Every structure is written in C-alpha cells, then in structure tokens.
A and B are shown apart, each in its own frame.
Chain A
Amino acid sequence: MAGTAGTAKNQPMFIRPPTSFPGKPWLWLAPYIAIGIFAVAMFAVTAMLQWRELDTARSALEADMHWAERTIENRLHQHQDFLGELGREQEFRQLDYEGFQVKTARYVRDNPDLQAIIWVNTEGKVEWVAPNEGTDTFVGEQLEGIRLHALQEALRIRRELYSPDYPDVAQKRVHDLIQPVQRASSDLGAFIAMQSLEMLLRTSLPTSFTTRYNLTLVDAGNRELLSNTSVKPTERELSGTISLDLPNNRLGLNIVAYRSGGPWFQYLPALMIGLLTLIATATLVQLRRHAQHRADAEEELRAAYAFRQAMSNSLITGMRAIDLEGRITFVNAAFCRMTGFNERELIGLKPPYPYWPPEEFEQLQHNIDTALAGQAPASGYEMRIMRKNGERFDVRLYFSPLIDTAGRQIGWMASMNDITEPKRARVELERAHERFVTVIDGLDSAVHVADVDSGEILFANRAFQNIFGYNTLGRDSALVTAACRPAPEALEADPLVLSAEQLPYELFDGEIQHALSGRWYHVHERVIRWVDGRAVRVQVAADITEHKHIEEVNLQQQKRLEQTSRLITMGEMASSLAHELNQPLSAIANYCAGCIKRMQAGNYRFEDLLSAMQKAADQAERAGKIIRRMRDMVKKGDPKRLPIALDEIIDEARAFADIEAQRNSTQIQVDMADDLPRIVVDRIMIEQVLLNLVKNAIEAMSDVPVERRRLTISAHEVDGRMLEIAVTDQGHGIDEADAERIFAPFYTTKAEGMGIGLAICRSMIEFHQGRLWLENRREGGTVFRFTVPCEATGEADGESSDE
C-alpha cells in the first residue's frame, strides 16, 4: 500500500518540474570541439605510424636491394670466372672435349640460370655444346644476328662481354656471356654461356624475396625485359632501381615492394576515425536534439505546471486528491482557502478529516466510504463542513477516479464547490418563486399565459383553474376558455400577424360575461414576449360580478337617495316655507282683521281701507309665488337636461335661500359675467345643489360677526365646455380631515341634519359629468365649486351638447 502511495506521489500532476537551466549554448560546443581535436590527433597519429611504416619498409627495401645486387653480381662474377678458367685451359690446350663436357655439364647443372655453355670458332660456328643433351643449341649451328655481332666484338676487344639479350627458342630472354680465347695473338674462338635472365633472377634471389617485390628487368635502353609477375603494382612509392654494370652491357633491375593489405589499407584508420567522428558527432547531435527536446518538454511541462498551478490557485473550486485509502495526497489553494487549513496540515491525513464538523461525522464517514467504494453519486454529495475557525458551510463534492499514466487507478479526485451562496440563492429563488406563485395564486383574477401560435397554456394560476378547471396546462387555451373569451373581431389586432417589434401589444380590454356561469369578468389581454422568447397571450380576467352587482345596487340606491333627498329637502324646506308662507298669510290676516275692525266700528277712511286691502293682495301674491316654487321643487319625474341660463337657477335658488339668508342676516352676492353660455342641466337638481350649498354657507357663517356674513355666488367658463360655479362663504372653514368626509353620505358636522346633502349634491353634479369639490380659503371660509356642462358656444341647438 505504501508503494501505491508512492506511486501516487509520483503522479506527474503533482511533481514539480526541474527548475530551468540558465541557457549556456557554448556548453554544447565543447563536445564538438573535443571530437574535432580527437579526430585531428588520431589522424596525426595514424599518419605518423604510416610514415614510420613506410620508412621501415623503405629501409628494408634498400637493404634487400643491396643484398640482391650483391647476390646477382656475385653470380655473374662466378660465371665470368668459370668461363675465364675454361678459356685459360683452352689456351693452354689442357682442355679436351670430354673434359669440357664433364666440367661444364656439372657447372651448368649447379647453375640453373645457365642454359648451356658452348664453344664457338671465330666465325661463330658452334663446335662444342655442354650439356650436350640440351636442345637450345646444336653443334654446327652458326651464330647469327646480334649474337654473332657480340662475338665479333668480343674477339675484337679480346675481353669478355655480354651480348644484348635475345629471345631463345622458348621466347625467353637470354643473353650470352662471351669469353674470347686467344693463343698467342691469334683468336681461337670463344666460350659462350647462355644465361636465362628469368632463371638468373629466380635462382640468384630467394623466393621469399621475389614474392615480396615486383622485380622488373630492364635493358640498357630501359626497355622492360621481363618481370617476375604479370601484376603491375599501382603504387610505386616503395621502389628502387639496381643497375648491374656488365661488360659491354647494362642491366637494370626495378624493384617495387608489394603493399600488404591493398592500396586502400593505409586509409582505413583515417576512414575509421572519420567514421567514428561522424558517428560521435551524429550521436552528439542526436543527444543535443534529444536534450533540446527534453528541455522543450520540460519547459512545456513547467509552463503547463505553472498554468495548472495558476489555474488550481485561481479556481474557486476546491480540489482534493485522496489515495485508495482516503489519505489526502493533494489539495489546491481553493480547498485550503475554503477549509482554512493549509496544505501541510492536510496532506497525508486519513479520514476523519479535520474539517469535518463533529455533528456530521457519521454522514461524512458514510459518504467517504461509499466514495472510496466507487459508488459516489454522479450528482456528488451535498454536505456541510467546517472551517478551521469552526464556521460551517455547505459544499457539494464530486468524485472522479484518479488514473496514473499506466492506467491504474491510484485514488480519487474530489472537487468541492462552496454552495452556501448558490444554495442561499437557490433557496431565495425558490422562495421568490414560491412568493410569486403565492401572490399569483392569491390573486382573485384568473391569470393565464398561452402560446400565440398553438394556443397551448403555458401558465395558469389557481383562480384560473378554479374557473376553467384543473390540469389545463398544455391544453389549448381557445378550448379551455371558450366560454369566456373575447371574440376574434373584438381584438385590437390578429395576434398571429404581430411582429416582434410591436410587443407588448394590448389585445383586449373589456368586460365579458362567462357564457356558462353568467359571471362577469373584466378581461385584459395582451401579447408579450415569453421568457423563452416566443410570443404569448397573457390574459388577466378579474371577476367583476360583485362589482357590477354593487354598481347596479349603487345606481338604484342613488336613485332612491335622490328621491329621498328630494323629500328630505322638501321636509327641510317645509318649515322655512311654512314660516315664509306664514309671513304673507299673517300679514293678510292682519290687514283683513284691521279692515273688519274699522268697518265694524264705522270709523274708517276709505283710502286707508283700500291701501290695506291692496297690501293684503300683494301679500297674497307673495304667498302664491312661494307655493309655486314649492310645487316646482316637489315636481316628480326623471331628470330632464335642458339648456337654461344660469341666472334663472341662481335667482330661484336665491329666492328660497333668501328666507334663510335673511334670518341669518347674510348677504348674498352674485358675481358673474353677462355673456355666460347657457348650461345644459336638470334645473331642479342644480337648483337643489345650489340651494344646499348656499344654505350650508349661511349656516357656516352663523357664528361669525354679522359684517362678515357675506356669501358670494360666482361663475365662469372653463375650457369652453363647462361652467364652474363657486359658492364662497367667510365662515369657520372646514378641517382638512373633514374636507372629503363631508361628501360621504350620512356624515354631518351639524348638530341637526341628516348629512345627506353634500353626498347627494356630489352625485347630482356627477350625474352631469361635473365635479363638486371644496377649497378652504386662506383668508377664512370655504369655497364649494362645481362644474356643469354648458351649451357649446356658437351652437343654438341645446340638445347637441346634451351629453
């Protein structure tokens, strides 16, 4: 197992590459120079050896040549001596034929270079031949040619001489040694020894000599006569020439030493050296190339290592290698960062690791066991581990087998991601989605999203499912919502032909009744770009059935309220009307009673009575007017909107309000332009509103000093369509808090009164598309303003502006 760990440590991945050499290129020249020097030295040695060998050979050759010269000369002198001896014997008649035969035959036998020795007379006629069994020369034969010429020369000079060589019957080169013999001063003849040059060389020089040298005989003219071999040496470096000075002739012997081992032999060492040098150089080059390659590989490895180191350090993923036993063999910087332990603290540790929180021991031990068993899930382990400072955090750990170069598994590589943040983000996302779903599901409105092309429902909230059924996802929206769907012709555009630039596009906004349930929905539909890019229809359908119902009820209620309001207003008015009526009635009664009394008493003046009766009549008329106004007020019927001058309404309202105003000694001031257009209203309604506001204003001023009790009614035109009428008092004003509430039904600031007034007023004005509001004046008091439509300027027909 230790071996396994060792193998693991030898993982290339974890080995630091050798540090880079400093570059020294000259270092690489040294071997080349050494090889060069070696080669030169070897060449020199070889040359020296060769030279020495040549020198030795030349010395041997010279010695041999000297020796050969002496040997050949000795033999020639011996022959000369023998012939000289024969000559002397002949001269002194001591020699006969027999004696010649014996003596000469023995001598020729001993000297194979001599073919024969003959005795010729002075004319060159052969007389004696020894040995007589020889076939070259026969007795009686006549010498001729150069032989005879040589004989005559010898006889003439009376000294031995050698003839030029000539070919014998066997075509061998032969020359004659001629010894002339004289007696007294007459020539007797001459002894001639026929000497074979080839045999001369062969017999005078030993075989050991002849085999070593190429010998060539040349004559005086330096013509080549014979050679001991037919092989011509190419090298003539070791050669020499022996000159044999023969009487009347000259023989040269050229000696050329044979070279042992052939002509190329001397170059072999140099060749070998050159070859070796080449091999050495080539090897060196290869070595250099290999080294370079190695260096490059190392450089690459270093770069790769640095790259991987940087990568490993920059990784936010923690990397941890363990061997098959779980011993940590490698951790990267991120892992150390994450756990807070440094590399030295972790390398070599076996489970349990120091970054295991105690409470998670069991789970983590189980995880590491299954991982070591090779059963780690592909999705990795999600686990909680502990930093050195005790802080816990969540990680995800992925295991993958660690394989060495030989393909054996040597451990497990684990990558560790801090998922605290992703997990938190995921939880956040889930929560956000949950919130989104909760919100969307919590909506009362039915929301659904459908693909424009296929109609497939991509999303539907709970309200939608409650209305249109469950499991609608993926179904065709057109079928699911058939009962409550805007008609295609009601859509703003055909959603299928909308281009991407037009999105989002409002498709529909309106109210639709559900065909089956009868409920009303406010449907808002638009085409938008869905999260995956395609165009979808988003429909929001809000149930407005209740709302519609309430609206209807409200409408009815308002009608009733208006009716009630009329009655209430009438009731309120009844007392003031009664008072108002009482006034003229009482006056009439007084006048009448006064008249009656006077007439009964009889003391009256006619003029007085007439005057009183006229006054009574005036009062009766006054009463009549009051009655008529009241009748107008109570007149029933639907509101009729007709063009009417504002002054008329103001006058009538004032007539009613005057009672109240007088009672509160309030001045009513009307401030309006003369050329105001007529207003298109139900006169009773507006009169009521105005009266109500005037009465309120009067009441508002009941507790201010009399001189301030001034009420102003003013009117002006707004943007040509509406008239704005303002009722301004100088009373106590209205609290901000009350400013809106006073328009609510049954709200009142008055001790008496039902508080129905302003609410009704507002609904009456709103019935005319107008507004009713109030403003507090800075100088005190309140302005109630309302707008009512006026007749379009320049149009005589009032109905056209009745809207």
Chain B
Amino acid sequence: MSEPSQTIYVVDDDEAMRDSLTWLLEGEGYRVVCFDSAEHFLLARRDEMRGCLVLDVRMPEMSGLELHEKLDSLGSQMPIIFVTGHGDVPMAVSALQRGACDFIEKPFSDEDLLSRIRRALELDCELATQRERSHALSHRIEQLTQREREVMQLVVAGKLNKQIADELAISMKTVEAHRARVMEKMGVRTLAELVKAVMSLS
C-alpha cells in the first residue's frame, strides 16, 4: 500500500473528472489533491512532494505535455499518469518516450487506473530511496579532498596505479594511499562498487 506521505495529485480542467476521480481514489484510501490547471499545480508544487500525478493531456492554456516538460526541467521525478482521450495515442507515445511513466486512455476501468496508480506510487518510493542513496553518496564525495577526487576519477576510468602516478606526477605509494582513503570514504569495498557508485551519481 502507499506510504502515508504519498499523495495523488489530479490535474484536470474538467470539474466532473476531478470530482469523480477524487470520489474514486478517496474510496481507495488515497490522499487526493486536485488542480484545475497546470499552472495552479506548478504554483503549489514542492520538491519534497511525494506521490504521483494524474494529468489530463488536453487542457486549455498549458497542456499536460507542456507541464511534463516543465516538471522535467524543474528536475521533478514524480511519476506521471497521462489521461488521454481518443486519438491522443501518438501524443501519449511521444510523451512516454520522453520518460513519462504511464498513460491511460479514456474511458478507463477503475482497476486499470488503480493498478497504474499503485505502480506509480511504488516507483515513487523507489525513486525516493534512490534519491536518498545518491544524496548520501554525494555527501561522501564531498568529503574527498581534491587530490582524492582526481585519483578516484582516474581509477573509475580504469587506469592502473602506475599510470595515475605518472599522470598526476606523484609516487605510486601516494596513489595507493589516496586510493585506500577514497575506498574508505566512499564506503565501498571493491573497485566494482566504487565504479557503480560513481556511475549512479553521474
């Protein structure tokens, strides 16, 4: 089930849709917040918001796709379920290609929507965990000295100690010392873990 912090944000210009969705989702025990336009949602949005976005594609003024782009540019990772009408399929596909999470075509069955919402909320959880982990990682990297960071990058790039020593014009021993300290500070035990951590950050 959903975490208590998660909320379902509904953005739809049609009042009946907002109302009926609220009725349906609240019946399932979700917390639902409705916005009648993308602009209003943007005004209310916070980075720490958790949950998913049920977004109508066709809306006057800012459409669902535009809002999606806007959220992307803001770095939001909140999963989005596009609600499309008949004939909007190609548009939805292009939205998916840009990394939207899901779409559902009207009219939809309640189970269809609910399963997608569940999946989206799970994704939201995963993303939140991932966000926490990378947050920790980056915190570790910040603790590295300048030299240690240079060494780490060369290590991740697959250079041998000798090569690193030549490149940075330091001795092999110093390289090994830096390397040990990087492994320690980053909390990894093997080279593979280090590479993975650095990759996940980049």
Residues on A close to B: CB < 8 A? 575, 578-579, 582-591, 593-598, 601, 612, 615-616, 618-619, 622, 661-666, 706
Contact = CB atoms under 8 A, between A and B. Distances in A.
Interface string B16-46: 1101110110111000000000000000000
A524 to B, nearest CB: 56
Contact of A578 (B20, B24, B87, B110): B87
A593 B113 CA distance: 11
B27 A586 contact: no
B133 to A, nearest CB: 36
A590 B86 contact: no
Interface string B36-73: 00000000000000000000001111000000000000
Given A575-B86, A589-B109, A597-B28, A662 B60 contact: yes
Top 10 A-B pairs ranked by shortest CB distance? A665-B60, A590-B20, A593-B110, A579-B85, A578-B86, A582-B106, A587-B16, A594-B23, A575-B87, A594-B24
Given A575-B86, A584-B16, A666-B60, 19 more contacts: A575-B87, A579-B88, A585-B106, A587-B16, A587-B19, A589-B20, A590-B20, A590-B23, A590-B110, A591-B23, A594-B27, A594-B110, A595-B27, A597-B24, A615-B19, A615-B23, A663-B59, A664-B60, A665-B61
A583 to B, nearest CB: 5
A575 B85 CA distance: 8
B24 A590 contact: yes
Contacts of B106: 579, 582-583, 585-586
B16 A597 contact: no
A664 B66 CA distance: 13
A664 B13 CA distance: 11
A661 B61 CA distance: 10
Contacts of A616: 20
A595 to B, nearest CB: 8
Contact of B107 (A575, A589, A612): A589
Nearest to B17: A587
Contact of B20 (A582, A587, A663): A587
21 contacts: A578-B87, A579-B87, A582-B106, A586-B108, A587-B19, A589-B20, A589-B109, A589-B110, A591-B23, A593-B24, A596-B110, A597-B110, A598-B27, A601-B27, A615-B20, A616-B20, A619-B16, A619-B20, A663-B58, A663-B60, A665-B61
B58 A579 contact: yes
Q: How large is the interface on B (under 10, 10 to 19, 20 to 34, 35 or more residues)?
A: 20 to 34
A590 B60 contact: no
Contacts of A598: 27
B13 A586 contact: no
B184 interface: no
Contact of A579 (B20, B26, B86): B86
A619 B61 CA distance: 24
A585 B107 CA distance: 6
Interface string B87-115: 11000000000000000001111100000
Q: What's the dominant secondary structure at chain A's contact region? A: helix
Most buried by A among B23, B58, B85, B109: B23
Nearest to A599: B27
A596 B24 CA distance: 9
B142 interface: no
A586 B107 contact: yes
A589 B108 contact: yes
B132 interface: no
B83 to A, nearest CB: 8
A596 B109 CA distance: 12
B16 A583 contact: yes
Contacts of A578: 85-87
Contacts of A595: 23, 27
Contact of A590 (B13, B21, B58, B59): B21
Nearest to B61: A665
A595 B23 CA distance: 8
A597 B86 contact: no
Contacts of A588: 20
A593 B23 CA distance: 9
A570 to B, nearest CB: 14
Contacts of A590: 17, 20-21, 23-24, 110
Nearest to A619: B16
Contacts of B26: 594
B167 interface: no
A396 to B, nearest CB: 89
Contact of A582 (B59, B86, B109): B86
A582 B60 contact: no
A591 B20 CA distance: 5
B14 interface: yes
Contacts of A666: 60
Contacts of A661: 60
A661 B59 CA distance: 10
Most buried by A among B21, B58, B87: B58
Contact of A615 (B16, B60, B109): B16
A228 B106 CA distance: 198
A256 to B, nearest CB: 179
Most buried by A among B13, B20, B21, B61: B20
A602 to B, nearest CB: 12
Nearest to A616: B20
A447 to B, nearest CB: 61
Contacts of B17: 583, 586-587, 590
A706 to B, nearest CB: 5
A665 B37 CA distance: 11
Contacts of A612: 20, 23
A587 to B, nearest CB: 4
Contacts of B61: 665, 706
A618 B19 CA distance: 13
Most buried by B among A591, A595, A597, A616: A597
Contacts of B58: 579, 663
A449 to B, nearest CB: 68
A641 to B, nearest CB: 34
A444 to B, nearest CB: 52
A594 B20 contact: yes
A569 to B, nearest CB: 16
A618 B15 CA distance: 12
A583 B108 CA distance: 11
A618 B20 CA distance: 12
A589 B108 CA distance: 8
Given A578-B86, A579-B85, A662-B60, A586 B20 contact: yes
B19 A597 contact: no
Nearest to A706: B61
A323 B86 CA distance: 114
A583 B60 CA distance: 15
Contacts of B107: 582, 585-586, 589
A615 B22 CA distance: 13
Interface in B155-193: none
Contacts of A618: 16
Contacts of A586: 17, 20, 83, 106-108
